[in-house]
Structure 1
Amino acid sequence: MAATATRVLFLLALVISSFALSHARLAKFIPPALLGHNGLRRCKFDKIYQFGDSISDTGNLIREGTGGARTPFARPPYGETFFKNATGRCSNGMLMIDYIALAAGLPLLNPYENAGANFRHGVNFAVAGSTALSFQALADKGIASPVTNSSLDIQLDWMSRHLSSICHSNKDCAKKLKHSLFMVGEIGGNDYNYAFLQRKGIEEVKKMVPDVVSAIQNAVRRVIQDGAVHVVVPGNFPIGCLPIYLTTFQSNISAAYDDHHCVNDLNNFAMYHNELLRQAINELKQEHPHATILYGDYYNAFQWLYSHAQYLGFDPATKQKACCGTGGDYDFSIMNMCGDPEVPVCADPRRHISWDGIHLTHEAYRRMAAWLIHNMIPGLKCLY
C-alpha cells in the first residue's frame, strides 16, 4: 500500500534544452498573425526567464537525479511527435513557453539543470512536480511533496545564482534585464493536487490559497527587485476538465458538471485561486508602477480551446480523453498511465487536447499559446 500511495502521489503531483532544430522549421508552428507586425517580436525581448512546474519544464526534473531520470518524461512516447525523442517536456511535443519563445523570435529555453547549456537568451527554471510553497511549509500543513524539493523559492535562488554570473552590479543587471520577459508560473497547482490526493476537502484546500498566492506574489517582488520590468503571472487551468480529475471525481449527479462536462467544484476552486491571484497582481502594480505586470489567463485560454475544439481541428468525441492512456470513460487510469508498458498512443495526437490525461498535447499548447500571446500583447505595451 505504501508503494502504491507513493506512486499515486507522484503521478497526481504532475498535474498540472535547446535542440538542433532550424528556426525555420520551428516557426511554421506559430500562427502567422503572431509573427507579423502585431506579434510578440514587436516587444524586442532578448531573454525569457520561466518559473513553474510541469506545464513549463523543458528538462529540469529529468536532470535532478536518478529519480527524475526514471520518470516517464525521460523516455518516449513523451516528446516523440515533434522532437522524435523525450526531452523532459510533459507532452508529446512543445509547450506554451516554447511557442512564446519562438513568437518572440528567440530559441527554445534551456533548462537550468542542463549544465553548460547556452543561457544567452534566458533560462527555464521550471521543474515538473514543483510547488509554490516550500517542502517544509507543505509539511507543516501535513501535506507531502514527494516529487521534487525544487519549489518556487529554490527556483528563485537558481535565478539569483544565474544573475550573479552575468551581472557585475545591480545597475548592470537592471540594464541587462530591461528587455527580458519573466514568466512567474503557472505554479501552485501541485500544492493543491497533493492536498486533494491526501483526501483533504475542497473547503479545507481553499484555506491554502492565500498562502500559495502570497508565495507567488513574493516571487514577483523578488524578480522585480532583481531587475525585471516585464512580468507575466499565469493563473490555473480549469482543472475539472482534465481526464485525471474527471476520472477521480466521477459522479452520477448531473449537477456536479458544467456545460462542458467538467467538474464544477474543481473549476470553481481554480477560479477562486485565479481571483486571489488577480488581486495580488493589482497590489503589485500599485507597489511597482515602473514595471509591467500582467495576469496570464490560462483558464480562459483553455476554455476557449475547449469551446472551439471542433473548429480548431480537434475531435469533439475525444476532447476529454487522453491520447496516451487507457481505461474508463476518459482513457485514463492512475495505475496504468502514459509511459507504462502496453499503454497505447492514439493514432493522431493532433486531434486530441489531452496528451496523458494530465498535460496537453503539442497541438493544444500551440493553440493556447496563440490565444495567450494575442491576449498579452496589448498589456505588454510594446505595439509601437
Structure 2
Amino acid sequence: MASSLFIVGEIGVNDYLVAFAGNTTVEEARAFVPHIVGAVRSVVTEVIAAGARTVLVPGMIPLGCEPQLLALDQSSDHDPASGCIKPLNDLAELHNRALNGMLRELRRANPRTAILYADLYGAVADLIASPRKYGFRDKPLAACCGGSGAYNFNMTAFCGAAGTAACADPSEYVSWDGVHFTEAANRHTACATLKANSPALLDSWTAEARRRIGCT
C-alpha cells in the first residue's frame, strides 16, 4: 500500500452529466458540489487509513466543453473564445475550488501522505484553446465517433449505433464519443499532471521514454 499510487476519481463527472441530461439547471447542480466533494473526501480518507501514502485526486473537467452537453444546450451563453458553455465551466471551477480546499485540509491532517491534485480542467481547456499546438484539429469540440450535428453527437445515436461512424484519425480529436476523451487527449492530461506534480521525475526520464508515452 505504501509504495503504490492510488488514483481517486474521476468522481462527480457522471453526477453532473446525468443531471444535465435530465434537465437539471446549473443553479440546482451547484447544490451537488459539497456532496460530491464529501464523497471524494470519504474515499481518500479510507485509502489513507488502509495504508496509502501517495494519492492522486483528479479535478473536474471543463463540463461546458463536453460535446454531449453542447449538443443538448439551447442557450446562447457560450464563451466567444472557446465556444464552451460558460455557466457549466463556472460550475466545474466551483467544484475544483471546493475540492482543493478539502484536499488542503486532508494534507494538514495527514502530513505523511502525499495528496496530489490532477488539474484536468486546465489540461483540457488548454487543448480547446490551442488544439494545433498539441496536434489536434482546429475544431476541438466535435466528437470523433457519433451521429450528426455540429458536435457529431446525438442522444438517440450514440457511437457504435446504426448510422454512426468514427473519424479516420482519433488522435486528432479531443473527444472520442462526445462523453469520453480520446487516448490522445488522455495522454495529454496525464503528461500535464506529471509535469505539474513530478517535474523532477519527468526530467529524469530519457527522451525515448518521454516520447514513448507522449510526454515530449
TM over 0.5: yes
Q: CA deviation at 1:379?
A: 9.7
- 1:50 alignment partner in structure 2: none
Deviation at 1:370, TM superposition (A): 1.3
Residues 273/374 of structure 1: CA separation in 2 closer, same or farther (3 Å cut): same
1:212-291 alignment runs, 5 A limit:
212-251=36-75, 253=76, 255-291=77-113
SS in 2 for 1:256: coil
Deviations 1:242-268 (A, max 9, x none): 1111111133x3x43341000000000
Contact 1:258/1:264, CA 8 A, preserved across alignment: no
Q: Does 1:182 align with 2:6?
A: yes
1:325 pairs with one of 135, 146, 152:
146
Task: Indicate the SS of the match to 1:294.
Answer: strand
Tell whether the 8 Å contact from 2:17 to 2:69 is kept in structure 1 after alignment.
no
Answer yes or no: is the 8 Å Cα contact 2:59–2:121 preserved in 1.
yes
Q: Deviations over 1:273-307 (max 9, x none)?
A: 11100000001011111111011111001112222
The equivalent residue for 2:212 is none
Residue 365 of structure 1, CA deviation: 1.3
- The CA distance in 2 between the partners of 1:356 and 1:200, in whole Å, is 22
CA distance in 1: counterparts of 2:121 and 2:55, whole angstroms: 18
Distance 2:158 2:18 in 1: 18
Amino acid at match of 1:206: R
Deviations 1:100-138 (A, max 9, x none): xxxxxxxxxxxxxxxxxxxxxxxxxxxxxxxxxxxxxxx
- Per the normalisation by structure 1, the TM-score is 0.50
Read off the aligned partner of 1:196 and give its amino acid letter: F
Deviations 1:218-248 (A, max 9, x none): 1111100000010111111001111111111
- 1:313 & 1:211 partners in 2: Cα distance? 37
Q: What's 2:18 paired with? A: 194
The answer to which structure has the higher helix fraction is 2
TM-score of the pair, normalised by structure 2 = 0.88
Q: Could you say if the C-alpha distance between residues 379 and 290 of structure 1 is closer, same or farther in structure 2, counting changes exceeding 3 Å?
A: farther
Specify the code of the residue in structure 2 equivalent to 1:351: E
User: Residue 128 of structure 2 contacts residue 141 of structure 2 at CA under 8 Å; is this kept in 1?
Assistant: no
Between the aligned partners of 1:235 and 1:368, the Cα distance in structure 2 is 11
Change (3 A) 1:350 1:378: closer
**Residues 294, 379 of structure 1: 8 Å contact kept:** no
> Which of 166, 174, 178 is equivalent to 1:357?
178
Contact 2:68 2:153 (C-alpha < 8 Å) held by counterparts: yes
Q: Distance in 2 between matches of 1:279 and 1:373?
A: 21
Change (3 A) 1:328 1:321: same
CA contact (8 A) 1:305 1:368 kept: no
Find the aligned partners of 1:379 and 1:289 in 2 and give their Cα distance.
Answer: 21
Out of 119, 124, 142, the position equivalent to 1:297 is 119
Match of 1:144 in 2: none
- Decide whether the 8 Å contact of 2:56 with 2:118 is kept in 1: yes
When the two chains are superposed, the root-mean-square deviation of aligned CA atoms in Å is 1.7
Aligned length: 202
- State, as a whole percentage, how many aligned pairs show the same letter: 39
Counterpart check, 1:207 vs 2:28: no
List gaps (5 residues or longer) in structure 1: 1-176
* 1:345 match: 166
